[in-house]
Structure 1
Amino acid sequence: MISVHDRRVADAVGDLDGFRRVFYDCLTARADALFDLTDAVLCADGPVRSLVELSLVGEHRRGHGALYDALACGQLDVDRLRTALAGVPLPRAADGRLVLAVDITCWLRPDAHTSPQRILCHTYGRGKDQTIRVPGWPYSMVVALESGRSSWTAPLDAVRLAPGADAATVTAGQVRDIAERLVAAGQWQTGDSNILVVADAGYDAPRLAFLLRDLPVQVLARMRSDRVLRRAAPPRQPGTNGRPPRHGGEFAFGDPATWGEPDAATSTDTRLYGTAWARAWNRLHPRLTHRSAWIDAAKVLPVIEGTVIRLEVDHLPSSATPKTVWLWWSGVDPTTADVNRLWQTFLRRFDIEHTFRLFKQTLGWTAPKIRTPQAADRWTWLILAAHTQLRLARPLAADLRRPWERPAPPERLSPARVRRGFRHLRANSACPAGAPKPNRPGPGRPPGRPNRHPTRRYDIHIVTSSATGKTTSSKKKSTNPRPRRTG
């Protein structure tokens, strides 16, 4: 009789082999070189520092010229790869629902003057509350989250933000496309819980919920602590003249006098944060105006109702000061169980930061000095495919730990520790790439003939306001900011 462990291992071998074959079929030009390059990323000893060093890995059976040629001239069927990523087994929350985290991470290229479509990306400075702008390529990524404390996620999509693109519109298009692919793949069926999209304060949560209102999707996002929302409009009294009001009283995050009694409340003892108090107020919405994102909206702006959750903990792991977080959920009429589930789900959003760090520090996503954004997109999708293979190989990997590391069970291995043993797993996995053909390198440029065609240099794109056409400048943060009453 086959045990549960043996069945799980057999399923993992089948999933890994199937994805490797589908991934090879997605490579429509320079397929063998791109596939070997992905294997070199997975089998390299230590972090990836540069592209040329990957040509020295044994799994990369070609020269460094083929490596650069594959990234510059190769082709990748992105739509088919997106479908393949949506069809592999995905992690789910404790209640069985799919939880997607969205965020933007930047590939900084400050000295790449010959690279087009660079944007000033937001980065953090060394001092407190200091931010600097560095030229680079920002990418909007969507991943599926696991339940519990983990550094594993399932990347599903990555889109580079073009100059002038709106982050909320791009993210809404990504989530819409992913939701349709998940339904087509059978990951979500009628009667299942709605897919939960978790975002940080950089996103306009009500607008994101409005753009996804026709999908089985709910939005949970953090809001700034200076926001002011409105309650539902009071019922119209008989005999009252004039236009009926569309908004009720104010709910100012910074003014406890406007809160009133919460509609749901919960208290939980945690190991890291001490006691966590969560209070929720039902049917609150922002007062929209015909500005910024809503400048081209209809004459009557929508009323987007949701639930506001105030989360307060005793202390953070790195400090003894209390911390307060404001969350907005696109659902209404929350129960105590909903409030407790939502704030714990939001804390799982930070697992995407572990994925970004793995991409950049271990898999070498931002290490290559790639010139064109098309080659950068191609390399980004190779990194996503490599991470997916690591996740599928997770039940098969052995714990090749260092002498100073603690032993870990197979289900608790980090992605970096699974990558250490992937070379042994690759030997027993499908490898559809063909062997390289013997060839001689080209003659190159003749001696004494310098390059007389200098590469074109590109300016950095500066964000301008769509309403006024003026360049937006960063202003000094006010010590006494006014509450945001519109949004």
Structure 2
Amino acid sequence: MSLLHHGVPRGAFAELSCFRAEFYACLAGRRDALFELGDALLCSDGPVKTLVELSLEVEHRRGHGALYGALNRGSVDVTRLRRALAGLPLPRTVQGRLVLAVDVSNWLRPDANTSPQRLFCHTYGRGRNSAQMVPGWPYSFVAALESGRTSWTAVLDVLRLRPWDDAIAVTAGQVREVFQRLYVAGQWQIGDPPVLIVVDAGYDVTRLAFLLADLPVELLGRMRSDRVLFFPPPPQPGGKRGRKPRHGAGFVFEDPSTHPVPSRTTVSDTTRYGQALATAWNRLHPLLTRRSAWAGHLAQLPVIEGTVIRLQVDHLRGDRNPKPIWLWWSATGASAADVDRLWQAFLRRFDLEHTFRMLKQTLGWTTPKLREPAAADRWTWLVITAHTQLRLARPLVEDLRRPWERPARQGRLTPARVRRGFRRLHGKTPQPASAPKLTTAGPGRPPGMKNKHRARQRAVGKQNSPDLARDKTG
């Protein structure tokens, strides 16, 4: 009996089946164990609490030793897997524009003193002003955003930031490679709208715009409320001699007296935030200095102009008097439609936070206590592949809700509910992994013998330390 008789869309099932086969082809070393580990992750009932419990799932036909051996000694063809992710159907806006979000999520490892290449990661506590720095592995994600209210994103790439990396330069290179893969896959063609890249306040959006100026992309990022930007200088009067100034009047975000008449003003009614007032000022640029990220820039410091958008809403959840949000767009001459499109696209960036919560709390991304960064990278790609299969299975699974849960509308299943029904779909999908071979357990360490090969202590986040220098070269 065909799949159509069961109410399963043939095209969506074929897309999922092809991706599973391609994912298996991307696994080079210990591919069967890695593939079954990913299936156990998809079909497990409930959140992943410990990694070894996945070996007890029916889909994982090997022992727990094979599970850890696959993560520690296996290999994944990441280049091919990235191309496969770029070739999948991606969400777009009504205008057919691709919107990509870039953000960092931390895998905290405060007690892993023997794990190399850790950094001090900025984390937030439960109380106000309770931010702290915790050692861990920061991972940079790039995902395609959907246009409506949803908790789904299409993760396209992930990259672990190392202690010696320039975070902005590495992010720019990551975005450049993602765009090149999208172009090769036919996701973007000449004549299409520029790809919109959305980042949060932790990124230097102006430097990103400078590094990606040769690509057909637009940068949109939030700026802190204490920033000061500058307008272009006024034209010099005739006959005046001397060097022309590079900066005009200052624009202080917190000082309304420095704000001239905006170039655009829009008012919109929203269901969650009340009335949204967006005002835009054209051709504003920051004052760059030869320090920090621009210390090695030998040429004259550039003037990076863009559009500043101030977004003020009536209320947020738990806040009746919210502060305005300041955005910077890498293009100039924004129309009223552009202003509304941009601030709405920025609000969609928070959908990536739902993806991080799904990866950590349900799929157990940061659950394993792995020592080596390479093993953490393999597990990260397995989790991303599992999330991608859930996204492809959205129209294929039924809503297996609990008695106390509300029924989900058609096409509005959350990632957790899709995972709940994936096991029923799993048996119909391709199973390329071969059956395990019968083996006997090794002798292990003799009783009474101590471990003579102690792991070396590793420094945290110190770029010039000898340990990190050896890690980088070796």
TM-score, normalised by the number of residues in structure 1: 0.93
Instruction: Give the Cα–Cα distance (whole angstroms) in 1 for the partners of residues 202 and 178 of structure 2.
Output: 21
Measured in 2, the distance between the counterparts of 1:279 and 1:98 equals 24
3-state SS of paired residue (2:40):
helix
Alpha-carbon distance in 1 for matches of 2:205, 2:283 = 14
User: What per-residue deviation string (whole Å, max 9, x for no partner) do you get for residues 184-231 of structure 1?
Assistant: 000001111110000100000110011110111100000000111110
CA contact (8 A) 1:121 1:138 kept: yes
Equivalence for 1:124: 124
Alignment match, 2:291: 291
Shift in Å, 1:5: 12
Change (3 A) 1:457 1:327: same
The RMSD of aligned alpha carbons is 1.7
**Separation in structure 2 between the aligned mates of residue 155 and residue 86 of structure 1, nearest angstrom:** 9
Q: Within 2, Cα distance between the matches of 1:167 and 1:101?
A: 16
Three-state SS of the structure 1 residue aligned to 2:395 is helix
Partner in structure 1 of residue 256 of structure 2: 256
CA 322–114 in structure 1, closer or farther in 2 if over 3 Å, else same: closer
Tell me the distance in 1 between the aligned counterparts of 2:74 and 2:358.
25
**2:75, 2:96 → 1: CA distance?**
37
The range that moved more, 16-25 or 454-463, is: 454-463
Structure 1 residue 409: deviation in Å? 2.5
Could you tell me how far apart the structure 2 residues matched to 1:94 and 1:183 are? 20
CA distance change for structure 1 residues 8 and 445 in 2, over 3 Å: closer, same or farther? closer
Q: Which position in structure 1 is the counterpart of 2:163?
A: 163
- Give the match's secondary structure for 1:175: helix
Taking the aligned partners of 1:28 and 1:453, their CA distance within structure 2 comes to 29
Once the two structures are TM-superposed, the CA of residue 8 in structure 1 deviates from its matched residue by: 8.2
- Tell me, yes or no, if the aligned pair for 1:278 and 1:310 is still in contact at 8 Å: yes
Runs of 4 or more, structure 1, over 6 Å off, are 4-8
What does residue 462 of structure 1 align with?
462
Q: Report the counterpart of residue 224 of structure 1 in structure 2.
A: 224
Give the match for residue 318 of structure 1.
318
Distance in 1 between residues matched to 2:417 and 2:222, nearest whole Å: 32
Is there any run of 5+ residues in structure 2 with no aligned partner, and where? 465-474
Aligned AA (2:394): R
Secondary structure of 2:150's partner? Answer: coil
CA distance in 1, matches of 2:6, 2:241: 74
Q: Which residue of 1 aligns with 2:32?
A: 32
Question: Are the counterparts in 2 of residues 314 and 323 from structure 1 also a CA contact under 8 Å?
Answer: no
Cα deviation, 1:279-310, whole Å, max 9, x if unaligned, reads: 00011111111111111113311111100000
Asked if the contact 2:35–2:433 (Cα under 8 Å) also holds between the matched residues in 1, the reply is yes
SS at match of 2:173: helix
Q: Which residue does 1:418 correspond to in 2?
A: 418
User: Alignment partner of 2:137: what SS?
Assistant: strand
Q: Distance in 1 between matches of 2:282 and 2:103?
A: 26
Measured in 1, the distance between the counterparts of 2:312 and 2:67 equals: 51
1:148-187 counterparts in 2 under 5 A?
148-187=148-187
Instruction: Name the aligned partner's letter for residue 310 of structure 1.
Output: R
Note the C-alpha offset of 1:266. Answer: 0.2
Contact 1:200–1:221 (8 Å) recurs in 2: yes
1:138 aligned residue: 138
**Which residue is equivalent to 1:272?**
272
**What is the distance in 2 between the residues matched to 1:399 and 1:340?**
35
What is the Cα deviation at residue 233 of structure 1?
A: 2.0
Q: CA offsets, 1:71-119, max 9 Å, x none? A: 0000001110000000000111232111000111100011111111111
Q: Is 1:246 aligned with 2:250?
A: no
Secondary structure class of the residue paired with 2:454: coil
User: 1:319 is matched by which residue type in structure 2?
Assistant: D
Quote the offset at 1:254 in angstroms.
1.0
Cα pair distance change 1:136/1:427, threshold 3 Å: same
Task: Report how far residue 27 of structure 1 moved.
Answer: 0.3
Question: What is the CA-CA distance between 1:134 and the residue it aligns to?
Answer: 0.7
Match of 1:378 in 2: 378
Give 1:193's aligned amino acid: P
Post-superposition shift, 1:6?
Answer: 9.6
Q: Is the 8 A contact 1:399 1:410 kept in 2?
A: no
* Aligned residue identity for 2:396: L
CA distance in 2, matches of 1:165, 1:50: 31
Matched, 1:83 2:83: yes
Instruction: Note the residue ranges of structure 1 that are not aligned, 5 or more in a row.
Output: 465-487
Where does residue 201 of structure 1 map in the other structure?
Answer: 201
Partner of 1:436: 436
> Higher mean Cα deviation, 125-134 or 385-394?
125-134
* Distance (Å, rounded) in 2 between the aligned partners of 1:122 and 1:331: 30
2:61 aligned partner: 61
Q: Whole-Å Cα distance in 1 between the matches of residues 69 and 153 of structure 2?
A: 31
1:307–1:329 contact (8 Å) kept in structure 2: yes
Cα pair 2:8 2:396 within 8 Å, conserved: no
Contact 1:315–1:323 (CA under 8 A) maintained in structure 2: no
Query: Percent identity, aligned pairs only?
Result: 63
In structure 2, distance between residues paired with 1:94 and 1:378: 36
* Deviation of 1:68 (Å): 0.4
- Does the CA contact (< 8 Å) of 1:195 and 1:216 recur in 2? yes
Q: Which moved more, 1:159-168 or 1:33-42?
A: 159-168
Q: 1:476 matched to which residue of 2?
A: none
In the alignment, the residues of structure 1 paired with residue 340 and residue 447 of structure 2 have an alpha-carbon distance, to the nearest angstrom, of 71
CA shift in 2, pair 1:442/1:205, >3 Å: same
**Does the 8 A contact of 1:394 with 1:410 survive in 2?**
no
Equivalent position amino acid for 2:303 in 1: V
Q: Does 1:406 align with 2:382?
A: no
Name the residue aligned to 1:237.
237
Q: Deviations over 1:351-395 (max 9, x none)?
A: 000000000000000000001000000100011100000000011
